[in-house]
Amino acid sequence: MSSQLSVARLLWRAENVNGARINTAWTSDGVRSFTYRDLVSDVRDLAGALASIGVKRGSRIATMAWNTRQHLAAYFAVPALGAVLHTVNHRMPIEHMAYTINHVSDEVLIVDEDLLPSVEAMRGRIPTVRHLVVVGEPGAIDGFDQVIPYDQFVSGASTHGSFQEVDENTAASICFTSGTTGLPKGVVYSHRSIVLHAMAISTKGGVEIDAERAYLLATQMSHVNGWGVPYAAALQGARLVLPGPHPTPERFLDLIHGERPDTFVGSPTVAALMRDEHLRRNCGYDLSELKTMWLGGQVPPVALARWWAEQGARVVNGWGMTETSPMGTFSPGGSMQGRPLPLFELRVVDESGSPQHWDGQTVGELEVRSPWVAREYLDDPRTPDSFRDGWLRTGDVATVHPDAGLQIKDREKDLVKSGGEWISSVDLENALMLHPAVSEAAVIAIPDDTWQERPLAWLRLDADVTDEELRTFLATTLPRFWLPDRFVRVDEIPKTAMGKIDKADIRRQHREITGQPASTDQASTASDGRDHNVAVIPTRSGTTSGL
């Protein structure tokens, strides 16, 4: 009989091969250590408690939690029972959180105490949830069949949970896209896809997660399986450093200083805030052990990458999205998104769907397929628009080089078409952020009577700079027609629940302020589910109701 690929197989290795290896987690009582053997014991306790309230194969269990030891236990316990884990992104709007819980029909909700106000706001709107398990003190919340503290819940189980043999193609977890331009879309990950993704990102063609490395996991476990890092770390015996509830740049730096991880996993936004905090403290943190900044979610500014390199940490990147589990390509450095991971296929196609040459110049829409790429959305009528002949239509404009190096040019909906020529919002943003006065930049297209569209740049500044000084700076590297006619200075640039620049919100604010639509308001129906994207330039219009 063949053995199935399953999350339980990862647990066997974590316990029997990597059992003595130590992880650490920040708690309100300080940093605490635990081994993989301790983790598997936690998993058995939680699995037993869930089984005791009737959780079985196919049951759907939600979490609203930070990067904690308890959340890590749920990552494994729920699928090991044959149930399905739904990690609710607690940074979404309340309406979206309630929508995802109802869409999945979750029966149990495991929630961190500090996130109870969100549960209170959804009370009466999530009728399928019968059991509320609170990591901390539940307080006076009611409206559920059972409300119980996590510690009491797991200690009250009469037996350890037994790990189930499951078909590898059955659902193990569900994540939702961020839903920036519509309701979030559910993406189902199978046991097989989780295991293969964990193996792929552990290879030399991937991120090379291995037992000799320690990973500070800043990217939220509440979204896209924490980029697959928890599963790959358990498989390889790599050390995890979990930052706990409400992490701050100061806490990340404290953990780097005290726990000595060699790899940071998170977003460019957080990396920039860490840089600013380090400088504010007169470089008072010891960063010498940190060797790699694995950044995703949006384009890492060149200036930011240079600064971290000066501290001894190279910035690595790649490309992926919720629908790709999320990793699809990886680059150990440079301006491109890297080459496909093992077992991951990609192509660029023209408007008719015909594949284009890999010459580093011809552009088209990026389409991908892999054992860990979604084939459909969970009970969602938008599925047909996003898939073609077994390929996922990403909505990214890209080119592929002869060595299989992927280069993302832009999102289709973010391109600016001015006088019949294309302007890449990503390239323009990167160029702006090379100016020492510019901390963040976001570019959108606005209608223009003469040129059809022109770029509008929103800027968060560290110092005063005039429009003309900015244009003079840009003109040294960019064509004149790329230079924005207008710059908008703001205290903060809007971000999505994922910490990415929220161009939909920028377009909305532009519309409210000026009474004029931003160009993409009239065309785009896409929902951006990307999680990694580091980029450069364009050449194609058309819209896709993809991702």
3-state secondary structure of 135: strand
Asked whether 315 and 304 are in contact (CB, 8 A), the reply is: yes
Torsion angle of C-alpha atoms 123, 124, 126, 127, degrees rounded to 10:
130
Mean pLDDT of 436-445: 94
Across residues 155-168, what is the average pLDDT? 84
pLDDT > 70 in the chain, percent: 93
298: confidence class by pLDDT, cuts 50, 70, 90:
confident
Active-site annotation, residues: 177, 323, 417, 422
Is domain 216-370+383-410 in CATH 3.40.50.12780, yes or no?
yes
Residue 181 has a pLDDT of 62
Task: Find the radius of gyration of the CA atoms of the chain.
Answer: 23
Distances (CA, A) of 532 to 220, 294, 324, 325, 364: 13, 10, 10, 11, 19
Mean per-residue pLDDT of the chain = 90
In terms of CATH, what superfamily is 412-532? ANL, C-terminal domain (3.30.300.30)
Is a pLDDT exceeding 70 seen at residue 535? no
Locate the domains of the chain by residue range.
Answer: 34-176, 216-370+383-410, 412-532
Position 126, amino acid = I
pLDDT 10s digits, 249-283: 999 999 999 999 999 999 988 999 999 999 999 99
pLDDT of residue 170 exceeding 60: yes
Q: Are 432 and 495 in contact (CB under 8 A)?
A: no
For residue 315, CA distances in Å to 7, 113, 292, 293, 339 come to: 30, 35, 6, 5, 16
Q: What is the rounded average pLDDT of the residues 114-127?
A: 96
Sequence-ordered list of residues with C-beta below 8 angstroms from that of 55, at least 6 positions apart, any chain: 61, 78, 81, 83, 107, 108
Confidence of residue 23 (pLDDT cuts 50, 70, 90): very high
Rounded to an integer, what distance in angstroms lies between the CA atom of residue 196 and that of residue 212?
Answer: 21
Q: Looking at the DSSP assignment, which residues form a beta bridge with residue 479?
A: none
Judge whether 216-370+383-410 and 412-532 match in fold.
Answer: no
Single out the residue of 173, 196, 192, 163 nearest to residue 4, CA to CA: 192
pTM score, whole prediction: 0.85
* Planar angle of CA 165, 169, 171, nearest 5 degrees: 85
Are 507 and 528 spatial neighbours (Cβ–Cβ below 8 Å)? no
Sign of CA dihedral 527, 185, 113, 10: negative
Question: Is the model's pLDDT at 153 over the cut of 60?
Answer: yes
Question: Distance (Å, rounded) from C-alpha 62 to C-alpha 70?
Answer: 13
331 versus 190: which is more confidently predicted? Answer: 190
Residue 81: pLDDT above 90? yes
Cβ atoms < 10 Å from Cβ of 165: 11
Of 236, 235, 232, the C-alpha closest to 217 is: 232
Residue 480 has pLDDT above 80, yes or no: yes
Question: Do residues 507 and 520 make contact, with C-beta atoms less than 8 angstroms apart?
Answer: yes
Q: What is the mean pLDDT of residues 235-259?
A: 98
Portion of the chain with pLDDT greater than 90, in percent: 76
Gap between the Cα atoms of 527 and 342, Å rounded = 27
Name the most confidently modeled range: 241-245, 415-419, 522-526.
Answer: 241-245
CA angle 223–151–176, rounded 5-degree value: 15
Closest C-alpha to 390, from 360, 345, 359: 345
> For the residues 503-515, what does the mean pLDDT come to?
90
**What is the structure's pLDDT at 537?**
22
Residue 379 token pair? 């009970």
- Return the residue matching tokens 């957080």: 270
Question: Residue 182 pLDDT > 90, yes or no?
Answer: no
Residue 246, number of CB atoms within 10 A of its CB: 10
Distance CA 272, CA 267 (A): 9
Q: Write down the pLDDT at residue 547.
A: 19
Q: Is the pLDDT of residue 411 over 90?
A: no
E strand intervals along 65-138: 84-87, 108-112, 131-135
According to the model, what pLDDT value does residue 299 have? 65
Q: Which is higher by pLDDT, 134 or 496?
A: 134
Whole-angstrom distance, CA of residue 2 vs CA of residue 356: 40
Q: Among candidates 88, 107, 109, 85, which has minimal Cα distance to 97?
A: 88
| Rounded (10°) angle between helices 69-80 and 36-52 | 60
Q: Is 264 helix (H, G, I), strand (E, B) or coil?
A: strand
Q: Which residue has the higher pLDDT, 162 or 233?
A: 233
Give the whole-angstrom CA distance, residue 344 versus residue 54. 38
Q: What CATH fold (topology level) applies to the domain 34-176?
A: Rossmann fold (3.40.50)
pLDDT tens per residue across span 28-75:
999 999 999 999 999 999 999 999 999 999 999 999 999 999 999 999
Q: Which helix or strand (DSSP H or E) is residue 258 part of?
A: helix 249-259
Rounded CA-CA distance 119/277 in Å is 32
pLDDT band at 520 (very low <50, low <70, confident <90, very high): low
The residue type of 428 is L
